[in-house]
Each structure stands twice: as C-alpha cells, then as structure tokens.
Chains A and B, each alone.
Chain A
Amino acid sequence: MELEIESRDIETQPFMLNIGPSHPSTHGVFRMRTTLDGEVITELEPVFGYLHRGIEKLAEGRTYAQIIPFTDRLDYLASMTANHGYVMAVEKLAGIEVPERGEYLRVIMDEFMRISNHLMAVGFLTNELGAMMTPLLYMYREREKILDLFDMVCGQRLTYNYMRIGGVSHDIPPEFLPAAKKFIQEMPSFIEEYDELLMENEILLARTKGVGILPKDMAINAGVSGPMARASAVDWDLRRDDPYSIYDRFDFDVVTGTAGDIYDRYRVRIGEMWQSLRILDQAIEQLPEGTVCTKVPPLLRPPKGDAYAHIEAPKGELGYYLVSDGSIAPYRFRVRPPAQINLGVLRDMALGWKVGDLIVIFGSVDICMGEVDR
C-alpha cells in the first residue's frame, strides 16, 4: 500500500542519521547513512570497509594450501562452503581429481553448514523483529548440535580449515554418523515446532509480509543470488543449474518464493533447511569407502592460467577467481562475495520504509561482514 502525501502544510526537515558502525543490530561493523524524514527513510547510503583485512592481498604471498585458513575467515559463519569453493577453484586450475569419499564428505559438511547458517539467519531475523532472544536461543541450541559434529571432525567450531586441495583433511570418526543420523531424525520436528512459534504470529506476519520487496527484475539486474534471489522468484540454484562436485546425484527441490519480501525470504530459508536434510539423508546413505584426499605436493605449482569456481554458499553464489603464474602462490586471488553484492540492493529495498523496518530488511539480507569487506 503506497501512500502519497498530497498537501504538505507542515514544514518538516529531513535529518541525517548515522546508523553507525558499532550498533547492536547490524551484523558486524556496517554503517548506513540514512536521511530520515520523521520516521521514513528517504535516502540510504551504505558504507562498509570497516572490517577490511586485506585477505586478497595477503593471499598473494601465501602458498595455495596456506590460503585455506584465510578463506575460513571470509564468511566466518559458513566456513565449510567458503573452503569448498576455494579448493574447487584450485583443483580446476591444477586439474586435480578428488576421491569419491572426499566428495561425499564435502557435500555432507556443506549441507550441515547450510542448515547451521540458515538457523542463525532466521534466529537473528526474529531477534531484530523484537522477540527477546527467545527464538534465537532455540535456533542456537540446534546449531550447537551441528557445531558439535564439526568439532568432532576437524577440531574447531567456527573456522574449520577442513577442506584440502584434493579432498578433505580428516576422515570422519566412527561416532560421527550415529550422531549425524540422530540429528537429522530430530530436526524436522524442531523445524515444525518453531515454524509454529513464528508463523502463526499475527504481529510477525504484519511486520514481514509486503515489507522490503525486491522485484524480480531488480534482483536479476543487480546480480543478487542465493535465498534472496530465490525469494524474488528467480529460479536459480547452482546446485541444480550448474552442478559442481556430485550434486547431480542427489534429488532435491529448489525452494522459491513469490513476492520477494521478508516473509518469503524467511520461508525460502526454512524450505532450504528441509531440502538440506533430504540431501544429507541421501549423502549419508550413499557414502562410499575409500581415501579422503588425493596426494598433492605441499608446494603446489599449478600451470599458468586462471580459473573461476563458484558454489552455492548459504548466502548466495560464492565465487573464487584464481590467476596463477606457475609459482607456489597465486598471482591474483579474488572472491566474489555474495553478501556484498546482495547489499547493493539495500537502498532500493529500504526506501520509504521506517527505521524499524530498515533493521529487519537488513537482517533478512543475511550478510556477514567478513565477506563484505574481506
């Protein structure tokens, strides 16, 4: 519902408000220079770069194997997929094959990572809507179970450094599969319970339906990818449309929304969690025996050339572009960060809404500043 204000007999003056870098509701250090007229946003300018650490430049002085921990720290909330994308780019450049078991383990970890990331995205969305941390803590409880699984495999809970060029670093211990199966079995009832908590709620529906709409053509023109694009009815998922790794062996649906508002993004993320559970079921069932990593020389010298590999990270299309000049370190390491590109449409989505809505719209984009700023 668009309101057009016809006569303006009250003189108002717009003022500029800095929703500043350190703010409890922005996911990381992100600044928005907003011009407000009363409550309504008339102009928005995002300013980022507060978390820039020079990862791309640092990578030029490190060997290919040493860059893997750096990719962890790009999108630190979804490290597994970040690692995966990078090692796929190196393998493409150097022509290395990955053993079957390694591929399956990669897919299993990716899908667990997707569930964990979406749990957190949904949790923080409700936190910004105002429910006092309660749904957030429930989502975190499930996420803890996933992080325990990751801890079991690679020893860390956040920055995994698990994928290696040619496979994965460690094989799964024997107690991984029973725990994973128990989790997959319990998760559907959890999702249903919290869907009931959140979606039967009239206030939540009123605050998210129709708010922050991203039209389909704008999404395609701006290069938005991932759940944001799918919520705007762009039917594109790299796992199905440009299958990498062994995703062509799995049977899953791509969840799309219709209207492109916050509610649709929420539903797309919940739907993707269901689909990830399906993929996990199939992957665990089909997991073959074998080695998990091909032997690759520690100082790998790929042939001269370049390669671009992209994967469907939980936030969007995460791409890595590597240029090699034949030495042990890349000549250029470039990350296509989905969060940064998704942020480009923030202004168009947020104009005309109120400050409270801006925070929720921003939360629904689901960014991680480590990726935006690198």
Chain B
Amino acid sequence: MEQWKYFLDLLAQVHETFVLTLQGAGLPSSLIVFLDSLIGILLILAFVFPIVIIFIWLERRFIAWMQLRPGPNRCGPAGLLQPIADAIKTLFKELVMPEKGDKLVHWVAPMLVFFAALMMFAVIPIGRERYGALVDLNIGVLYIVAVGSIGVIGIFSAGWGSSNKYSLLGAMRAIAQLVSYEVPMVLAVIGVVLVAGSLSMVDIVDQQEFTPFILVQPLGCFIYFIGAIAELNRSPMDQIEAESELTTGYFTEYSGMKFATFFLGEYVSTLAVAVITVTLFLGGWRPWPLPDSIDWLVPTWIVFPAKVFLVFTFILWMRATLVRVRIDQIMAFSWKFLLPVALINIFVMALEVLAWQTWFAGWARFPWFFVFVNIPLAVVIVMVWSRLFFKLGGGRVGVRALWPRDSQGVARDPKASVPA
C-alpha cells in the first residue's frame, strides 16, 4: 500500500506544480480555478463512468440469476462488454426530433438529468485526507438535496419538449411522484444532521467511527431509502417508467444518444443515491465494524465501492421481487405514511440529542447507546402507524360523478339514449 500512497503523493505534487506554474504565468485566478475544477470534473467522471458501466452489467446479470437464467453472457467475457455494445447501438440510431416540440427544451432535458446526478459526487468523501471529498463543503447535505432536485426540471422538460400529450401526462405524473418523495427524504436526512451536528459530509462520515447511522436511526434510513427508490423511478415505484400501459412516459420521443443520456443519467442517479446512502447511513469509507487501523489490509478505497455495490445489489433485489405500486397508492404512501413517520423521527431524534447533551454529555463522544432505544422504537412506530392510520388501499371512483353535467347540474350518462 505504500506504493499507492507514494503514487498519490506524486500526483498531488504534479497538481500543485501545475497550479503554481499557471499562477506564475500570470493567468487570471478565475481561469486557474476553472482549469482546476475541470480536473476535478474529470476525476469525478473517471470514478462514475466505470462504476456505471459495471452497474448496467450487474443489473442485468444479477436479476437474471434471480430468475434462474444466465443473463447476457455473449458479448465479451461473461457479457462484460454488453453495456458497450448497447452504447454503440444507441449511437447509431437516428436522433428523432418532434417537429412541433420546443427544440431547446428537448435538447436540454437529458443533460439536466445527467448533470444533476453528476454534480452530487463533488462532496462525497471516498477516503480520508487525500481521498476525501473533492470539495469539503460545510453545507454538504444541503448541496446534495438542492442538486438532487434539479433532475425534476429535466424530466418535466422532457415531457414538455416532446409535443405528445401522453408524454406530457407521464411527465406530470413523474413530477408529482418525485416532488412528493423529496419531502420525507429530506426530513429523514435532517435526523442524521441532528445527531452528527454538522451539515458537512466529511464530518458525518468522521462521526461514524464506531456505529454507522443506520443503527442509530433505522427509521431514518428506511425512509430515506424508500424515498430514494421512488426518486429514481425504480421498481417498486416505477409506474411512470415501466409504462407498458400508457406508452413509455416522458421519454417516448427520445432516441439515439439523447435516450442514452437519459438512461445513463438514471444509472448515475442510482449510483449517487447508493453513494449517499453509504455515506450518510452506512459509514462511508470506514470499515465498520473493524477498527480504522485495518487500513493496511483493506484500504478504504475498496471498502467504499464494496458498500456501494452492496446497496446497489439490494436495490436490484427489490426490483426483481416486488410488484409495482399504483400511482395513487404511491402518492398516498408518501404523504400519509412516510411524511408523518419522518416527522416523528425528527422529533424523537431531537429529544434524544437534547437528552444526550443535557445529561449524558460526559459519557461518550457519540451517542451509540441510542441504538438500543431506536431500533425497537422504529419497529414499533412503523407497525403502529401502518396498522392504525394508513393502509395501502386504493379507491374506486364513482363513475357517476364524472359524467358531464347540464345547466341544472344534473349528471347525465353520455351513452343514454333517452334524456334524463
């Protein structure tokens, strides 16, 4: 491992020399910052793209294994070149542009989705010190939440830019779902912030030395995870995407590279969600439960991707197993179940933090003993709420209510031959 550290030190040296040279050459400092951040963007892309390619491959193989079949195994060894083959195929397709659609909006939509997801990686710490976050923002969590919402604009632009009423309807439904799941997600993250005491991602990971937040806040993790799955439009809440019922939804009119951008954007979002889950709840690069000194055996830049893959495998497992939730049930679930439970979670966590600071301040640096309170409490809250206040049922709308009404307000069956 010493060789790696040496190599990275060398790269850091090169980088500093580069920046100093540029400064010495008299370039304006804004340009230097711009070039510097270009390097940062390249680093992010270098991290994201290989993992996304592996994700695409893993998704198809893993779900296939669960379905007792091999999955794609012909392109390249064990099918590893399958995503490349898919990408090449999409590149050759014609870029269809609907004539009456708004061209600028149509072009911008996939880019918005893709870049919104990509921007989230700037504040994730992959390891300690040199491997840390690209930018150690002290409002890291706020940044992530804000950037994650930009993707919604991308989806709406996609629906609007294709001059297709079914796409527009699909986009409207998508926005409803995405916006309504952001609220509980953010509230769940606030619970983490309360305990960690800081909005910075690096700090949050630092705090998880002995207990990851998933144990301290099982309810928060649960809400965040489900909210994130709904944000990604993945099963079981993929009503708008796997629309075998109502065309393809908002990206019907997309083909070729624009569609590939959407597709990649969805996988980058999945990666972003997995990465954020790992950072906030699973301990980031810390090899919990082993102590930190295990660094020489299992370097942190292996631990982090391993955890990310674990979370992704769990997402795939859910996709392969669970049936789709109907759109009105999705909305009801978010507003009537997740939101109240998230609020209760914040309330409970705030009480605990207050109690810790007032009475137990001397005990430990981190309130790990709340684990024993929080896990049973989470189970109890979920079960009680789902039994008493919320059942995932659906409603039938009385058709009589939807018939057109005449001037007296009397509803008349449009198919009736005799006027009422």
- Chains A and B in contact, CB within 8 Å: yes
> Chain A 28-44 against B: per-residue CB contact (8 Å), 1 yes, 0 no?
00000000010110110
Cβ contact within 8 Å between A2 and B324: no
Q: Which listed segment binds A: B254-262, B291-299, B365-373, B399-407?
A: B399-407
- Knowing A132-B319, A137-B69, the reply to whether A207 touches B394 (Cβ < 8 A) is yes
Which chain A positions have C-beta within 8 A of B325? 130, 203, 206-207
Candidates A40, A138, A201; contact of B402 at CB < 8 Å: A40
In the assembled complex, how far is the CB of residue B71 from the closest CB belonging to chain A, in whole angstroms? 12
Task: Indicate whether B287 reaches chain A with its CB closer than 8 angstroms.
Answer: no
Cβ contact within 8 Å between A4 and B398: yes
Cβ contact within 8 Å between A131 and B326: no
Cβ contact within 8 Å between A351 and B394: no
Which chain A positions have C-beta within 8 A of B67? 133-134, 137-138
Task: Indicate whether B322 reaches chain A with its CB closer than 8 angstroms.
Answer: yes
Task: Indicate whether A1 reaches chain B with its CB closer than 8 angstroms.
Answer: yes
Cβ contact within 8 Å between A126 and B323: yes
Task: Indicate whether A69 reaches chain B with its CB closer than 8 angstroms.
Answer: no
CB-based A-B contact count at 8 angstroms: 127
> Chain A 323-338 against B: per-residue CB contact (8 Å), 1 yes, 0 no?
0000000000000000
Give the residues from 257 to 283 in chain B that come closer than 8 angstroms, CB to CB, to chain A: none
Cβ contact within 8 Å between B324 and A351: no
Which chain B positions have C-beta within 8 A of A138? 67-68
Name the CB-closest residue of A to B66: A134
Which chain A positions have C-beta within 8 A of B320? 131-132, 134
Which chain B positions have C-beta within 8 A of A346? none
Give the residues from 289 to 330 in chain A that come closer than 8 angstroms, CB to CB, to chain B: none
Give the residues from 386 to 420 in chain B that come closer than 8 angstroms, CB to CB, to chain A: 391-403, 405, 414-415
- Knowing A40-B402, A137-B68, A357-B326, the reply to whether A131 touches B392 (Cβ < 8 A) is no
Cβ contact within 8 Å between A39 and B327: yes
- Knowing A5-B397, A131-B322, A206-B329, the reply to whether A37 touches B402 (Cβ < 8 A) is yes
Task: Indicate whether A141 reaches chain B with its CB closer than 8 angstroms.
Answer: yes
A157-B131 Cα distance, complex, nearest whole Å: 60
Which chain B positions have C-beta within 8 A of A40? 397, 399, 402
Cβ contact within 8 Å between A206 and B393: yes
Task: Indicate whether A182 reaches chain B with its CB closer than 8 angstroms.
Answer: no
Is chain A's binding surface mostly helix, strand, loop or mixed?
Answer: mixed
Give the residues from 176 to 233 in chain A that come closer than 8 angstroms, CB to CB, to chain B: 197, 201-204, 206-207, 209-211
Which chain B positions have C-beta within 8 A of A137? 67-69
Name the CB-closest residue of A to B69: A137
Cβ contact within 8 Å between A134 and B321: yes
Cβ contact within 8 Å between A356 and B322: no
Which chain B positions have C-beta within 8 A of A204? 323
Cβ contact within 8 Å between B321 and A131: yes
How many interface residues does B have (CB within 8 Å)?
41
Cβ contact within 8 Å between A351 and B323: no
Cβ contact within 8 Å between B395 and A1: yes
Give the residues from 301 to 343 in chain B that come closer than 8 angstroms, CB to CB, to chain A: 319-329
> Chain B 56-75 against A: per-residue CB contact (8 Å), 1 yes, 0 no?
00000001001111000000
In the assembled complex, how far is the CB of residue A30 from the closest CB belonging to chain B, in whole angstroms? 14
Task: Indicate whether B236 reaches chain A with its CB closer than 8 angstroms.
Answer: yes
Cβ contact within 8 Å between A203 and B323: yes
Cβ contact within 8 Å between A354 and B398: no
A6-B391 Cα distance, complex, nearest whole Å: 24
Q: Which listed segment binds A: B1-9, B103-111, B192-200, B239-247?
A: B239-247
A101-B61 Cα distance, complex, nearest whole Å: 48
Which chain B positions have C-beta within 8 A of A207? 323-326, 329, 394
Task: Indicate whether B345 reaches chain A with its CB closer than 8 angstroms.
Answer: no
Which chain B positions have C-beta within 8 A of A356? 239, 245, 324, 326-327
In the assembled complex, how far is the CB of residue A70 from the closest CB belonging to chain B, in whole angstroms? 32
Task: Indicate whether B300 reaches chain A with its CB closer than 8 angstroms.
Answer: no
> Chain A 241-264 against B: per-residue CB contact (8 Å), 1 yes, 0 no?
000000000000000000000000
Task: Indicate whether B238 reaches chain A with its CB closer than 8 angstroms.
Answer: yes
Q: Known A-B contacts: A3-B396, A130-B322, A201-B323. Give 18 more (CB < 8 A).
A: A2-B395, A25-B244, A25-B245, A39-B328, A130-B238, A132-B63, A133-B67, A134-B66, A138-B68, A141-B68, A203-B324, A206-B393, A207-B323, A352-B397, A355-B245, A356-B324, A356-B326, A359-B245
Query: Can you list 17 A-B contacts (CB < 8 A)?
Result: A3-B401, A37-B402, A39-B327, A39-B328, A40-B397, A42-B402, A126-B323, A129-B324, A130-B323, A132-B319, A138-B68, A141-B68, A197-B321, A206-B325, A206-B394, A207-B394, A358-B245
Binding site for A on B (CB under 8 A): 63, 66-69, 165, 235-236, 238-239, 242, 244-246, 319-329, 391-403, 405, 414-415
